[in-house]
Amino acid sequence: MSEALALPRDLASSRLRLILVSPEDAADMLAGRRQSRWHPGYPRRDDIDAASLVRPGAPADPWGPRHIVWEQLAVGSIGCFGPPIEGEVEVGYGLVEQARGRGLATEALACLLAATDALGVRVRASVAPSNRAGVRVLATAGFTELRGSNDDGELVMGRPLGAA
Give the integer Cα–Cα distance in Å for 25 and 42: 12
Reply yes or no on whether the pLDDT at 118 is more than 60: yes
Whole-number average pLDDT of the chain:
94
For the question of whether the overall pTM of this predicted structure is more than 0.75, the answer is yes
pLDDT of residue 160: 87
Residue 129 has pLDDT above 60, yes or no: yes
Per residue in 44-61, pLDDT tens? 999 999 999 999 988 889
**What is the share, in percent, of the chain residues with pLDDT greater than 90?**
87
In the predicted structure, residue 130 carries a pLDDT above the cut 80: yes
Counting other chains too, the contacts that 159-162 makes at CB distance below 8 Å and 24 or more residues apart are 159/113, 159/122, 159/123, 159/124, 159/125, 160/122, 161/117, 161/120, 161/121, 161/122, 162/117
Other beta carbons within 10 angstroms of residue 4's beta carbon come to: 5
Strand 16-20 versus strand 88-95 pairing type: unpaired
What would the mean pLDDT of 100-108 be, rounded to a whole number?
97
Q: What is the pLDDT of residue 2?
A: 44
Give burial (CB, 10 Å; 0-12/13-18/19+) of 53. middle
Question: Sign of the C-alpha dihedral, residues 112, 118, 119, 123?
Answer: positive
Average pLDDT over every residue of 93-111? 97
Residue 4 pLDDT grade (very low, low, confident, very high; cuts 50, 70, 90): low
- Domains plus CATH for the chain? 11-159 (3.40.630.30)
- Residue 146, pLDDT score: 87
Binning pLDDT at 50, 70 and 90, where does residue 145 land? confident
